[in-house]
Amino acid sequence: MSTQTQHGILPQANHDELARQEFVRSFKIHLASRVSPGNRAIYDTRAEPEFEKEHGRKPKDHREVGKAMARQPYYQMWSSLQRTSQEMMWDAVSSAVDRQRDELIDGARALSGKAGGSLTLDPSLEIPRYHKAVDIHCMPGGYHTDFAEDDVTAGATYDRAVHIYAMGRLGELNDDMGQTPVLWMKNEQAAFQPRRILDMGCTVGHSTMPWVDAYPDAEVHAIDVGAPVLRYAHARAEALGKKVHFSQQNAERTNFEDESFDLIVSHILFHETSSQALRNILEECHRLLKPGGMMVHVEAKPYEGMHPYDAFMLDWDTFNNNEPFWRASHSVDYNRLAESVGFDGDKVITKMVPSALGEKAKARTTLHQGGDFAGSGEWFLFAATK
Ligand SMILES: C[S@@+](CC[C@H](N)C(=O)[O-])C[C@H]1O[C@@H](n2cnc3c(N)ncnc32)[C@H](O)[C@@H]1O
């Protein structure tokens, strides 16, 4: 199990806080490795046969698997524990971050400018409805809520919680989703040398940093709608000695000039938007890319081709973890969408790529949990050249 890299702004935990956080992590591992596999046994021995008896055929998709599984007490127990583990995770991290809020805010202020990066906030930016309507993945206040002046709470909470949520499988800097497309670019697009890079939906910059390291001569920009995550992202980047220009902008329509980037990237941004926003974001990518420029997006595995049971388990977040666009985002036809916003279909790539962390990104045991976005050891990659 990886430990998290200590950097200048990571919230600390006292003895009791750490004990609670470690308990949640162990609880999640226990659920994923010991309890969740029982769902498959219940599906094979009860849910599917019951469905077959009633309908004269097996469930044809994840929705029908859902109907059959929702009645099973074992699944109900697991689902309730899974949700509880999520709420406990935010509680365990938030209490530590809340205790240190003032120090973290001061720390972020002090770090600003150390590595030459910048932060531009826009208090008038309207937070999209798809972020205001729910506390996304049960994170109190989502990515955008300020609990104090110059707040960094959402960023600090996210940084620590993601490490617990992914059970360490995103690496010590939570950066596997950035490392993976970087590795793919270095292997498959070796001649491509971007000079200006934009990361959309960067949150605290976990996946931005690998791009800074991979292309040290490039000017790197990163945007998000949430001010508290951006303040923290800026402080974190400066603490890590990485120069990034962060700004608070909606990726659906930014203030950058036409054809001003060679490379645009995003990492698990799409599933937290909406159908219309996703189209707008891709249109914006097309507008912002120079001719010959590339966009590279990373997402969780689409449901297509998956066994309906597996898709059902992955779909858990849609209704149980405040991820309203999760289901629809897993069935998007990216080839068609890219073409419809102006990309040449022959220059679109959609494929699964192995995680840069490889085996380390996988669980120690066969994990099979709902919402297991980090556990399969591979990521869905969607790239296109303008
Ligand atoms: C799951 S997080 C992304 C994680 C991050 N890319 C990483 O790799 O660690 C989704 C982020 O996208 C941001 N976001 C959602 N919609 C956005 C939009 N329209 N424009 C900019 N950022 C957006 C959210 O505020 C949130 O910080």
Q: Mean pLDDT per segment of 10 residues, for the chain of length 386 residues?
A: 83 95 91 90 97 97 96 97 95 96 97 95 97 93 97 97 85 93 96 97 98 98 98 98 98 98 97 97 98 96 90 92 92 96 97 82 44 66 98
pLDDT at 361: 56
- Structure confidence at residue 2 (pLDDT): 59
* Rounded alpha-carbon distances, angstroms, from residue 174 to 42, 43, 72, 163, 238: 34, 33, 35, 6, 17
- Cβ 355 under 6 angstroms from ligand 1: no
248 lines ligand 1 (CB under 6 A): no
Domain ranges of the chain: 1-386
pLDDT at position 167, please? 77
Phi and psi at residue 359, in whole multiples of 5°? -60, -30
Overall CATH class of domain 1-386: alpha beta
Cβ of 271 closer than 6 Å to ligand 1, yes or no, is no
The reported pLDDT for the residue numbered 359 is 60
Residue nearest (by alpha carbon) to ligand 1 atom 27: 203
**Helix 15-30 with 153-165: angle, nearest 10 deg:** 40
Q: Is the CB of 223 under 6 A from ligand 1?
A: yes
- Given strand 378-385, what is the order of strands in its sheet? 118-120, 245-248, 219-224, 196-200, 261-267, 289-299, 378-385, 348-354
Residue that has been written with the tokens 């049960």 in this structure:
138
What pLDDT score was predicted for residue 377? 78
d(CA 364, CA 379): 18
